[in-house]
Structure 1
């Protein structure tokens, strides 16, 4: 090896850099352990809610030492920003994909146009988007073009005052389209910036926010965040701040009494019709059946009409005063609170007020009144009702756009408030509004996202300077979040969570423990195996392997990449596969030694001869990893990142580091055996006729594939929410539960639901498609409430909903993690999975064609890959119903399939490399002899690599419970991939080459005869 000194210097420097990068992780780890020990000592387990108290104490401890020097000028805060990032599955936290509503943006650009063509296109686009892979704007253009004579540049649509500088009425649709695309992109960029500002102030370390292509989607990852509701509120709040004048309570009371009388009259009509129906039924014995049926039909129709007027007949019947009986308290004279209503009755009460027939009772001067609830107060069962003075355009005099700054502060009574500062224009309007309110002794409502936060009166005259204040029953965190949202600005459109994943910290710690356990056991097994098989040379390979691990983690830390549980699996798998390079080198050296070469020459030629196979094998695996990185998201991307880094570092360590140790050992004439007494003669003088057995292999493979395909059509596969949409929850119970029994109770509530054991018998994975098409915080809360009620018989007695929903850390029960995937994004994930698999096959086919110059080699390799993928899918289809672990087809499974493709190609390429070498060396040998010779000469390497990789996979399978399905697919893939490289890829290559050769010979014979 040339330039040994340079390689040695580079390796040492690179190692030192990696140690330096990882030192930050070590420093933060030690300080966080100190904080944990401090919190445990302060709050023992005997204290109620000790886990929450410990969490607060840990945070306070770390805040207090954050700026103190730990070592060489490094503080905890600085080290925390430099440490190795851990993903949600290792640290706990929240991961969401937000869909910025392009429909809202278009509606805003069109000034909320009422044009029939425009709104027809929007409705059609909503429907098309359910199964479309296009962006919303492109589907909108498609649907708009279908409407005859529809014109985007119509004055009633986009040729309006707001867009007059960009769109004129004489522009064609094609001219308007790029303008709209640009405007939408600007709005999504604005939304991205608003969200980024909000998250920056949220207080989570190492947050990640990024736009996902041109889809209007934004990915937000908040490792370590625990308050799910707070995060969702922060992200989805549009921050639509408005200031409105409000009516005094006594101004609205007359309307409430009039409305109650109308509803009461409707209720009496319903009762009268019911009585008539009842009398008709009692007289059925003396009335002709035909007449009775007609009478009942008319009565039913009458009831239906009346029930449309008074929505809930059961409630109406039971109440003497339908509206007034729902009032739990009355607002004070001269105050802005009209009445108070129990939270459980709020929807019914508001439905009554917004009924068109009821609203028609409002006096003319109050016809634009808007009713709104006040901010829910903690530990209160009631909501306050406000009556806002609306207008024809439904536009407030003053909106949040004028806010330049907002801060959480305390008022004179020590209560949390949020103060705001307005710009010049806002200050002037605020002075006008407060002056009017002072003179009329009225109030101004501060409304955020249709909720009245406060409605203060003005006691000191008009307020100049643009300073205002929002009061309410805020916690410090709520006040900080509100100030943060107002300061960051409002979203230009609504943001719906179309995919979310929440992982509790307990589950994250368990993932770390299982990942470390599998990592350590796999590493020890490989280290022992290499020494057992290759002796001292194996020990040198082990040292290179340890250096490789240091490099992988150092590079991850330096690149600020995120380490996930699949990422750890990728590292462990890389370790197993990196052994392959050393195995290839050592096997070639053993061959050269067997030819009688000196140790120096054998080592030199062994490394040189193995280089081609090593590069080809790793490049094919790297190509599949690259496709995963480009197309995958979340855990799949984490797996691909570590796999690619591992391939590069293992190549360097195997080719250079191992060589340094071997050359250094032998430079003084020391003999280095590349085997032990137990393995010296293994696989020596083997002469198996693989090609003779190919027809049997074809039959066996054909039978397995046919059975698998038949099962795919009958049994199908267990598709996860990634592919079909829905919500899934990991729920832990205090005692073991039977999934089939729990599932029956869940189906009764959700209509469709699945419950499967996940790991231990006291933990279930629950999946439902209930209201999968609906988004919003209210829907999420409704479903988790229903889940809580359905599971109550199996939960710890006394467990509250909050403890259940957030995963009780003290009792280790409740929802430990949750995930939601909307149908639209599930559709996109399916498409990405299909293209990633197809893309990897095409790329690999072209690479092998380029390297081997014969299409027969590419055909054999791709046929083997298809064979392996079909077998893995078939096995999953045949066994998923009775296997004791999760076998869902999700994004992680696609990562497994692509890894199987990479591994299978790795094996096949090594064999093909040796066949090509035999062709060059033994030009007079028949094709079959060359092929069999190559297969036999690589058999030791093939089985060795397969065994070490399987050791790794089995270790992960046993200890990393959440990854068992993922690992099972890889175990099947490695077994099938090893088999297919020997009995599928090579035989198909041989048969196609033979047929081509036979045709050439026949053609030459015919030409000679002529």
Structure 2
């Protein structure tokens, strides 16, 4: 074996890298265990402990040290379905942005075009600006958008001579800036929310933003937080020098209050009735603030004064600094009535948006000077342009800002009155920048300088430029999963994972003896590498992702099976063990690579067109294919070489499996007319079922709201449906969810699902509570019923999909399936240099997909588990396509080899021989994968049972179509081609 040393080195380095990546998860788990032990069941103290550890070094590797926060970023990310939390897709209200850019124009054509564009959003994948441009062109063919958008603010970009296309380009740029700004604002809000491992990302150019918040405790607070419009403001400030004497007094007052809290701790409860109205609250707040900083591992022990957690400044625009985990305590102390009275009445304390350079967990505090009417000196509506650029001198960056005429006048007066002082740029209640005023600025053009990087300057410019635009984010898709359901998913996933893994190990060991043991070692290595690569890429592990890993294990043995069957053939032909192994690997490479390449194509398509859990499944599938190839081809070979060098015997069978399907002589092509007839009839039944019964669409495709509700007693679907019929009149569907003893129902309704207004979700939750509360044996409060993340009963998961995003999901799913079929067909046609093979493959894949879709139509409502067609079902279809084509490619590869080795045989003989000679591989691979899927189906939980059922059916039908559809179709097409060529030659 050539390059054996290089392969060993690569395997060792990959193992070290994976071990390093996985080590962070063990470190964070240890810290969380310490926190739980120190807290003694007090969740608030536990969280305070973890907050205090964020900046502490918990992983020391000598030259490199990692804080707890840095370790968290590198640990295994669990999806919401495994730990509970909230997944939200927000859509920026581009309609409001366009109205603002037009200065709320009342032009009839503009108003009508806006209305038509909004209506078209529900049935189109185009963005709002494209729809608006098309609608305006239809409404006013000769209209000029420059007359509508040629406002004072846009005068530098839109002139009276600007064409409609030029105006649309400017509008698109402005809206992109607003979306980017909203993304930045949402990122900051989420960071401030204190969620561990939040995930926020823009979805292409759709104007949508996906947010994942694991372990969130208050979904309604999240909705309000994420849907609010950002407010950009300019405020004058107090200096540190002005407030330092007051800070000294505040420190003394806090010290006295803390001492009083200690001295009255034992009697406060008894004297509550005698205490002043607010004194008990003050003492309680002080105690809570101080106790929150006490867990072991925190730098500060017991807080005795304000300055224990706050470092005051004596000069400059910053009045003090504090660690991130102490900012809440500082806020508590400064807002005590006795402390607050020491400062000017108009002062407002605001923190900087991020930590200081060199100490990212240390935050600066500013003192904003308020106004009589509570309004800022200037707001973001006056900004016309802002650009982040390198400063003319030095290596730092600056922001160049322009204002309209009104803003320029106010800005000139404001800067003239505050020369030598500071003006804070505030967004969402946090200070983004606080530059000093060097002199009066006239004309509305100014530069904001500071210790900016160019990226920071561009971010601030983006905020300034888009801050004037009202771009609220509306929730168009939402899913909330309670931790109890998440824990059930973890338990079910781990049970299925362990059982399936053991089944594969036993299967390989039984069937291939010593070689099976080697394959198992490679499988363990594959699992280790797979998790290591997943963590290094920052991938999120979801329940479908676990299913993907388990399925990958089933498919991983496929490469070993192909190799081992080839080695068995070489040994039976009379070759020695060394040569048989070498030739077996060499002859198996093309089939392995072709088969895995086609599966990889479907994985990539899934990743591109899927979202959320589907992407998680695709990620594990893609990584699993790559690691499986490496382990099956290289790790297995290295072990064989080492064993042969030591003179050890390697057995590839036992007495039972030695000649398993080795001498079959089935005339598969002779049976093709029967298989065509059977498949045609079954396809007809499926088409009729699709036409008559249709499919049970999930909210992904139909839009609506879906809930899983847990009861405290046995209830029937009819009882729940009758209760809900009184409040929900639209599209109500109630089904048993899981086993009956779980007392759970899945409820789907389309009631007001198009309404994105504030409070609609709460209103619907209350309606559901009033309808279902009588079905509980014990009294349940509305808070317990609707608090998804903490309740044992009531709503344990909730999902909402708006009409526009449902339409997009349907279109993207259809594109994904069609694109996958085309890509695979083209690959096979090119790889085998005959379009007939590609056509045979595509026809059989269409057959597999149609039958799988049809079985969901035929059996939904008849089987005791969910057969809903949603994104996960599309993922199953694409996985079936990838898996099924793997089978077919192996047979095609053997046909190609036979045609080369036995040119004198007829095509029919070579094809029949190819199917028969690969039959053992086909049955072994399908059998091992089916056994794995069966384990997931039985033990994997209700959430993915329908998904796994589709895969099980697809594996079975794909194995059948490989032998009886794909190859016979390719044969018939090739024979037809030969006949045409023969006729042409004769003529």
TM-score range, shorter chain: 0.7 to 0.9
Distance in 2 of aligned mates of 1:900 and 1:701: 17
Residue in 2 aligned with 1:319? Answer: none
Alignment counterpart, residue 737 of structure 2, candidates 758, 761, 779: 758
Over 3 Å counting, the alpha-carbon distance change for 1:165 and 1:938 in structure 2 is same
- Alpha-carbon offset, residue 77 of structure 1: 3.1
Q: Deviations over 1:208-243 (max 9, x none)?
A: 222112221111122222211121111111145899
Unaligned runs of 5+ in 1: 44-53, 244-402, 438-442, 450-461, 470-479
Q: Which residue of 2 aligns with 1:175?
A: 166
Deviations 1:871-906 (A, max 9, x none): 101111000111111111110110000000001100
Distance 1:404 1:862, change over 3 A: farther
TM-score if structure 1 supplies the norm length? 0.75
| CA deviation profile, 1:656-679 (whole Å, cap 9, x unmatched) | 000011121122333212101221
CA distance, structure 2, for counterparts of residue 237 and residue 621 of structure 1? 44
Asked if 1:216 corresponds to 2:217, the answer is: no
Partner of 2:311: none
Cross-structure match for 2:112: 120
CA deviation map 1:403-450 (0-9, x unaligned): 99999734342799963599xxxx9x988x63xx7xxxxx9899999x
| Matched residue, 1:514 | 492
CA distance in 2, matches of 1:833, 1:937: 37
Residue 99 of structure 1 corresponds to which residue in structure 2? 91
**Take 1:590 and 1:950, find their aligned partners in 2: how far apart are those partners?**
24
For residues 991 and 176 of structure 1, what CA distance do their matches in structure 2 show?
A: 58
Name which of 554, 557, 579 aligns with 1:579: 557
State how far apart, in whole Å, the 1-side matches of 2:808 and 2:159 are: 36
Query: Is 1:980 equivalent to 2:972 in the alignment?
Result: no
Partner of 2:778: helix, strand, or coil?
coil
Partner of 2:349: 419
Query: Which residue is equivalent to 2:7?
Result: 7
Determine the C-alpha separation between the residues in 2 that align with 1:502 and 1:485: 32
Contact kept, 8 Å, 2:482 with 2:789, in 1: the verdict is no
Out of 131, 134, 149, the position equivalent to 2:123 is 131
Q: State how far apart, in whole Å, the 2-side matches of 1:726 and 1:842 are.
A: 32
1:828-847 mapped onto 2 (5 Å cutoff): 828-847=808-827
Q: Is 1:994 aligned to 2:975, yes or no? A: yes
| Structure 2 residue 643 is matched with structure 1 residue 659 | no
Using the alignment, how far apart are the partners of 1:143 and 1:724 within structure 2? 26
- Listed one character per residue, the Cα deviations across residues 970-1002 of structure 1 (whole Å, up to 9, x for unaligned) are 000000000000000011111111222233334
Match of 1:233 in 2: 224
Aligned residues: 800
For residues 787 and 756 of structure 2, what CA distance do their matches in structure 1 show? Answer: 20
Q: Is the contact made by 2:80 and 2:542 (CA closer than 8 Å) also made in structure 1?
A: yes
Give the alignment partner of residue 662 of structure 2, picking from 684, 709, 715.
Answer: 684
| Distance (Å, rounded) in 1 between the aligned partners of 2:145 and 2:564 | 72
1:474-523: CA deviation from partner (whole Å, max 9, x where unpaired): xxxxxx99669999986741210001111112222221111111111111
* Counterpart in the other structure of 1:742: 720
- The reply on whether 1:887 has 2:876 as its aligned counterpart is no
**In 2, distance between residues paired with 1:176 and 1:239?**
26
1:929 and 2:859 are equivalent in the alignment? no
* Cα distance in 1 between the residues matched to 2:123 and 2:724: 28
Matches within 5 A, 1:794-873: 794-795=775-776, 797-807=778-788, 809=790, 812-873=792-853
| Residue number in structure 2 paired with 1:558 | 536
Which secondary structure state, in structure 2, belongs to the residue aligned with residue 218 of structure 1? Answer: strand
1:579 deviation in Å?
Answer: 0.3
Residues 272-293 of structure 1, C-alpha deviations (whole Å, 9 max, x = no match): xxxxxxxxxxxxxxxxxxxxxx
Q: Is 1:588 equivalent to 2:571 in the alignment?
A: no
Task: For 2:524 and 2:670, locate their aligned partners in 1 and report how far apart those are by CA, in whole Å.
Answer: 42
Over 3 Å counting, the alpha-carbon distance change for 1:581 and 1:524 in structure 2 is: same
Are the aligned partners of 1:405 and 1:486 in contact in 2 as well (CA < 8 Å)? no
User: Retained in 2: the 8 A contact 1:515–1:960?
Assistant: yes
Q: How does 1:145-160 map to 2 (within 5 A)?
A: 145-148=137-140, 151-155=143-147, 157-160=148-151
Residue 80 (str. 1) matches residue 72 (str. 2):
yes
Report deviation, 1:160: 1.4
Q: Quick one: structure 1 residues 4 and 187, their matched pair in 2 at CA, closer, same or farther if it must change by over 3 Å? A: same
Secondary structure of the structure 1 residue equivalent to 2:149: coil
Distance 1:677 1:699, change over 3 A: same
Equivalent residue number for residue 57 of structure 1: 45
Which 10-residue stretch deviates more, 578-587 or 755-764? 755-764
- Rounded Cα–Cα distance in structure 2 between residues aligned with 1:68 and 1:964: 43
Q: Give the counterpart of 1:702 among 658, 668, 680.
A: 680
Give distance in 2, aligned partners of 1:957 and 1:421: 51
With structure 2 as the length reference, what TM-score do the two structures score? 0.77
- Choose 1 or 2 for highest CA Rg: 1
Assess, with a 3 A threshold, how the Cα gap between structure 1 residues 6 and 549 changes in structure 2: closer, same or farther: same
Q: Quote the Cα distance in structure 2 between the aligned partners of 1:482 and 1:777.
A: 21
Matches within 5 A, 1:65-76: 65-66=53-54, 67=56, 69=58, 72=61, 73-76=65-68
The 3-state SS of whatever aligns with 2:89 is strand
Q: Is the 8 A contact 1:405 1:421 kept in 2?
A: no
C-alpha distance in 2, partners of 1:414/1:750?
52
**Match runs of 1:392-471 below 5 Å:** 409=331, 410-413=334-337, 419=349, 434=372
Q: Displacement, 1:36?
A: 3.4
Relative distance call for 1:647 and 1:154 in structure 2 (3 A) is closer
Matches within 5 A, 1:259-658: 409=331, 410-413=334-337, 419=349, 434=372, 492-658=470-636
Contact residue 351 and residue 431 of structure 2 kept, 8 A? no
Query: Partners of 1:418 and 1:530 in 2: how far apart?
Result: 69
The structure-2 alpha-carbon separation of the partners of 1:230 and 1:692, relative to structure 1 and needing over 3 Å to count, comes to same
Is the 2:564–2:584 contact (alpha carbons within 8 Å) kept by the matching residues of 1? yes
The alignment partner of 2:337 has SS state of: coil
Q: Mean alpha-carbon deviation: is it higher for 617-626 or for 736-745?
A: 736-745
Instruction: Determine if the alignment matches structure 1 residue 718 to structure 2 residue 696.
Output: yes
SS of equivalent residue, structure 1 residue 146: helix
Q: Is the CA contact (8 Å cut-off) linking 2:519 and 2:636 kept in structure 1? A: yes
Whether the 8 Å contact between 1:418 and 1:482 is mirrored in structure 2 is: no
For the Cα contact (< 8 Å) 2:481–2:789, is it kept in 1?
Answer: no
Q: Distance in 2 between matches of 1:170 and 1:941?
A: 71
Are 2:922 and 1:903 equivalent residues in the alignment?
Answer: no
Deviation at 1:102, TM superposition (A): 0.8
Which residue is 1:390 aligned to? none
Partner of 2:193: 202
Query: 1:191 maps to which residue?
Result: 182
Counterpart check, 1:783 vs 2:764: yes
> In 2, distance between residues paired with 1:856 and 1:535?
39
**Which deviations, in whole Å up to 9, do the C-alpha atoms of 1:841-866 show, x marking residues without a partner?**
11111100111111111111001000
**d(CA) in 2 for partners of 1:777 and 1:806?**
18
Q: Tell me if the contact between 2:146 and 2:167 (Cα under 8 Å) persists in the aligned partners.
A: no
Q: CA contact under 8 A between 2:232 and 2:428: conserved in structure 1?
A: no
Partners of 1:96 and 1:499 within 8 A in 2: yes
- Counterpart of 2:475 in 1: which secondary structure? strand
Deviations 1:591-647 (A, max 9, x none): 000100011110000000000000000000000101111111101111111100000
Q: Measure, in 1, the Cα distance between the counterparts of 2:551 and 2:320.
A: 51
Counterpart secondary structure, 2:625: helix
